[in-house]
Structure 1
Amino acid sequence: MFSKAGIAAVIWAAAVSVHAQDKIIVGQSAPLTGGNAQFGKDIRDGANAYFESVNAKGGIGGKPIELLSIDDKNDRKTAGANAKTLLENKNVVALFGFASATLSLDAIPQAEAKEVPFFAPFSGANPVRVNNPVLFTVRASYGDEMEKILKFWTSLGLKRVTVVHYDDEVGKQNLEVVVNYLKKINLAPQAFPLKRNAQVGKPEIQALIAQQPELILTTVLSGAAAQMQKSLVEMGRVIPTSSLSFVGADQFIVAAGPASAGVSISQVVPNPNSQIPAVRECAKVMEAAGMKGMNSTQLEACFAAKVLTEGMRRAKKPVTAKTLLEALTNLGAYDLGGYKITFGAGAQHGSKFVDLAMVTRDGRLMSN
């Protein structure tokens, strides 16, 4: 005999299952609070704007897309726990838009075990550039970005390169990418490790200056990069500085203020003011969602959401993790409107687009 409580639990579970089947749920773990919160919110909001535009036109097969975002506070263990919750309890068809390789490390194996697509992590680091049947990226690698940066500066004769990186697994791998590139031209970088989520103070800046760099290449987030840049400017030190897209250009410009002027930042999507159709479409959906303007992080999230939605359209119905995975694997070349993504079995890193931009005195990002 079932107890009343047992019967109620069964009915509730059935109701949750039916409700979940009425929509297509995409799961996300992102830093929505803490020092990297703006970056996480921009990823969420850029994707949501596109999904809302799809839902306004009837969704996919009459079903709306829901982006279910959970805060990980930029903490690796929390991101892994969030992934487990999403995969085991939320009936998600994909994990989407994790904000870094570090936050993805514990989530990817879980997605692989469940055969759920792990789509568009916001990183070009080596751990998210491996061949994995569930892993799909829509941006260039950090190797692609660093090659563009280093080729530019070394062509001007700069040789003493200091790499500011996190003192963890992913940060050391980023350093190794620079080491390997510079080795080809008989140069070797200096390493400057930082603790992730730690403040950058006067002792760190003095140690950085002591290395006498001709070029500073930062591979850290906007908070640390901004603290470093503001301190250098306050001390009257003008040192050419470039950052990976990982810094979050708009977040860095806001955090560093006037000190951001002159810093070059690699970009993995076109300028948000570009007039190519794909960019104009994303600007339009964000305006419809009530968002003011569009930055590069929001644009990348919109592009990723559009590609994921195209996979849903092509997937056998009903859309499940399995049918979506099959559709994405066989997507082939897909033109978003002047920005192309190509996926195939064993070739699931869809873009090599890199642009090098510089922050102007009035806080705008100007492409070369």
Structure 2
Amino acid sequence: MNLKLKSIVAALALCATSTSFAADPIKIGVSGPFTGGSSPMGVSMRDGVKLAADEINKKGGVLGRQIELIERDDEAKNERGVQVAQELINKERVIATLGYINTGVALASQRFYQEAKLPVINNVATGSLVTKQFVPPQYPDNYIFRTSANDTIQSAMIVNEATEKQKFTKVAILADSTNYGQLGREDLEKALAAKNMKPVAVEKFNIKDVDMTAQLLKAKEAGAQAILTYAIGPELAQIANGMEKLGWKVPMIGSWTLSMGNFIDNAGKNGAGARMPQTFIQEPNTPKRKAFIEAYQKAYKVDRIPSPVSAAQGYDSMYIMAAAIQQAGGTDGVKIREALENLNTKVDGVITTYNHPYTHDDHEAITMNMVVMGEVKDGHVVYAYESDKGTVVREKIKHKAPAKK
């Protein structure tokens, strides 16, 4: 082979290698509970992410590369979440992860992404501490972001609904024993304290408990006019059904998880009227929401999305991450974080239009004005207040930094 021919062959080989590299997929982790009591949230989130990724890939992907989702079931267990995080980072070589449904799993697992300088968008976990684990001055940069309404927002709305809108003066708190339940219970107590109130009873229960009689009797004997809750679907249904067994019915007002399909189905008529904060309700009141609902129903052969909030937040998180990767011009974790903190393009999501959703010091995409109260009615969650049904998309309130003197 002469020198000229060798040069041509080498050039072609280099071109082929370069083309192959450019076509490599962008690996993004999806971590959540796809089995067990939390699965309506996990599966809905995962399917929302998949729906968005499929749409993006059909339009050419990101930076000319297809998105490849690497899914892992964390089983809502902290220790499994830790294992999954390490596997996704070290074995699968993901460049970011979407997910975390359970606050405890997030708090136990996301430190591995922080150490690896890879961004995570928590698209369901709501514990107020989730985005505050790694903040200055100890950590100059924080790689943990969120697209769900944190518990500081939710607890304030729950207490406002109970005390201001429904005028109750005696409320009890029932929360599960997980990090999610107990951190939420603390937030509820803080929100009540801000109104110079204390709960008349504070009761705890474990995941998979099926008898809430003791807790409910204490709340009833204390004169509770409403039950404020922080738990997930199966146990929330036991609270509603437990009240029916006791012949005692007071309103349930709790965190967004009262919208879970396994609460609504297991509680049946006993769950009617339960109210909760929601970032998304399955009603086609904007063109984007209509298209999303129809696409989800067609793709997954369902009428009611098992957890509409989880699905919508998962869907939006994928589009936000894709926009950040595009802006970063590659898959370097530091550059993606910097892009997330200063997105220069608007992201048209299901919940809202994300216009600079994050800054270096604010990793929360959702503010209180974007959240509405939902109510369980006829096996679905509907808007609790007619005034919230409008077609206007609520965008994030930007807090201006104080002027320097």
TM-score, normalised to structure 2's length? 0.79
Aligned to 2:198: 188
Offset at 1:27?
Answer: 1.0
Taking the aligned partners of 1:251 and 1:314, their CA distance within structure 2 comes to 39
- Structure 1 residues 113-143: Cα deviation after superposition (integer angstroms, max 9, x where no partner): 0001111241221221416410111122212
Taking the aligned partners of 2:352 and 2:80, their CA distance within structure 1 comes to 34
Taking the aligned partners of 1:97 and 1:227, their CA distance within structure 2 comes to 27
After superposing the two structures, state which structure 1 stretch, 275-284 or 45-54, moved more.
275-284
Aligned to 2:242: 231
Aligned to 2:394: none
The answer to whether the Cα contact below 8 Å between 2:117 and 2:333 also exists between their aligned partners in 1 is: yes
The answer to whether the Cα contact below 8 Å between 1:29 and 1:97 also exists between their aligned partners in 2 is: yes
The answer to whether the Cα contact below 8 Å between 1:123 and 1:246 also exists between their aligned partners in 2 is: no
The answer to whether the Cα contact below 8 Å between 1:267 and 1:356 also exists between their aligned partners in 2 is: yes
Could you tell me which of 290, 306, 310 is aligned with 1:297? 310
Q: CA RMSD in A?
A: 2.4
Query: 1:315 and 2:318 equivalent?
Result: no
Aligned to 1:217: 228
After superposing the two structures, state which structure 1 stretch, 349-358 or 189-198, moved more.
189-198
Aligned with 1:213: secondary structure?
coil
Aligned with 2:196: secondary structure?
coil
Decide whether aligned partners of structure 1 residues 297 and 255 sit closer, same or farther in structure 2, where only a CA change above 3 A counts: farther
The answer to whether the Cα contact below 8 Å between 1:250 and 1:296 also exists between their aligned partners in 2 is: no
Offset at 1:168?
Answer: 4.3
Aligned with 2:70: secondary structure?
strand
The answer to whether the Cα contact below 8 Å between 2:126 and 2:148 also exists between their aligned partners in 1 is: yes
Query: 1:306 and 2:315 equivalent?
Result: no
The answer to whether the Cα contact below 8 Å between 1:333 and 1:343 also exists between their aligned partners in 2 is: no
Aligned to 2:120: 118
- Structure 1 residues 264-318: Cα deviation after superposition (integer angstroms, max 9, x where no partner): 121023x22132243234224424534434433212221222222222222213x
Taking the aligned partners of 1:283 and 1:314, their CA distance within structure 2 comes to 28
The answer to whether the Cα contact below 8 Å between 1:31 and 1:72 also exists between their aligned partners in 2 is: yes
Offset at 1:356?
Answer: 0.5
After superposing the two structures, state which structure 1 stretch, 87-96 or 143-152, moved more.
143-152
The answer to whether the Cα contact below 8 Å between 2:101 and 2:125 also exists between their aligned partners in 1 is: yes
- Structure 1 residues 188-243: Cα deviation after superposition (integer angstroms, max 9, x where no partner): 12311122344444444434433431111111000100111112123321111112
Query: 1:348 and 2:357 equivalent?
Result: no
Query: 1:329 and 2:341 equivalent?
Result: yes
- Structure 1 residues 22-64: Cα deviation after superposition (integer angstroms, max 9, x where no partner): 1111112211122222221111111111111111222112322
One-letter amino acid of the counterpart of residue 128, structure 2: N
TM-score, normalised to structure 1's length? 0.87
Taking the aligned partners of 1:286 and 1:35, their CA distance within structure 2 comes to 22
Decide whether aligned partners of structure 1 residues 139 and 113 sit closer, same or farther in structure 2, where only a CA change above 3 A counts: same
Taking the aligned partners of 1:60 and 1:29, their CA distance within structure 2 comes to 21
- Structure 1 residues 89-134: Cα deviation after superposition (integer angstroms, max 9, x where no partner): 1111112111121110121211100001111241221221416410
The answer to whether the Cα contact below 8 Å between 1:76 and 1:103 also exists between their aligned partners in 2 is: yes
Aligned with 1:289: secondary structure?
helix
Taking the aligned partners of 2:71 and 2:32, their CA distance within structure 1 comes to 7
Aligned to 1:138: 147
One-letter amino acid of the counterpart of residue 123, structure 1: A
One-letter amino acid of the counterpart of residue 77, structure 1: E
Could you tell me which of 230, 250, 261 is aligned with 1:250? 261
Taking the aligned partners of 2:131 and 2:314, their CA distance within structure 1 comes to 18
Task: Give the 5 Å matches for 1:1-368.
Answer: 22-130=24-132, 132=135, 133-155=142-164, 156-189=166-199, 190-269=201-280, 271-287=281-297, 289-293=299-303, 294=305, 295-317=308-330, 319-331=331-343, 334-336=346-348, 339-341=352-354, 342-352=357-367, 353-360=370-377, 362-367=378-383, 368=385
One-letter amino acid of the counterpart of residue 272, structure 2: A
Decide whether aligned partners of structure 1 residues 61 and 285 sit closer, same or farther in structure 2, where only a CA change above 3 A counts: farther
The answer to whether the Cα contact below 8 Å between 1:249 and 1:265 also exists between their aligned partners in 2 is: no
Decide whether aligned partners of structure 1 residues 19 and 51 sit closer, same or farther in structure 2, where only a CA change above 3 A counts: same
One-letter amino acid of the counterpart of residue 155, structure 2: M
Decide whether aligned partners of structure 1 residues 167 and 21 sit closer, same or farther in structure 2, where only a CA change above 3 A counts: farther
One-letter amino acid of the counterpart of residue 376, structure 2: V
Taking the aligned partners of 1:326 and 1:83, their CA distance within structure 2 comes to 22
Taking the aligned partners of 2:46 and 2:21, their CA distance within structure 1 comes to 23
The answer to whether the Cα contact below 8 Å between 2:320 and 2:347 also exists between their aligned partners in 1 is: no
Q: Aligned residues: percent identity?
A: 20
One-letter amino acid of the counterpart of residue 97, structure 2: L
The answer to whether the Cα contact below 8 Å between 2:282 and 2:381 also exists between their aligned partners in 1 is: no
The answer to whether the Cα contact below 8 Å between 1:139 and 1:351 also exists between their aligned partners in 2 is: yes
Instruction: Give unmatched runs, 5+ long, in structure 1.
Output: 1-17
Taking the aligned partners of 1:328 and 1:257, their CA distance within structure 2 comes to 42
After superposing the two structures, state which structure 1 stretch, 70-79 or 199-208, moved more.
199-208
After superposing the two structures, state which structure 1 stretch, 152-161 or 350-359, moved more.
152-161
Taking the aligned partners of 2:185 and 2:48, their CA distance within structure 1 comes to 30
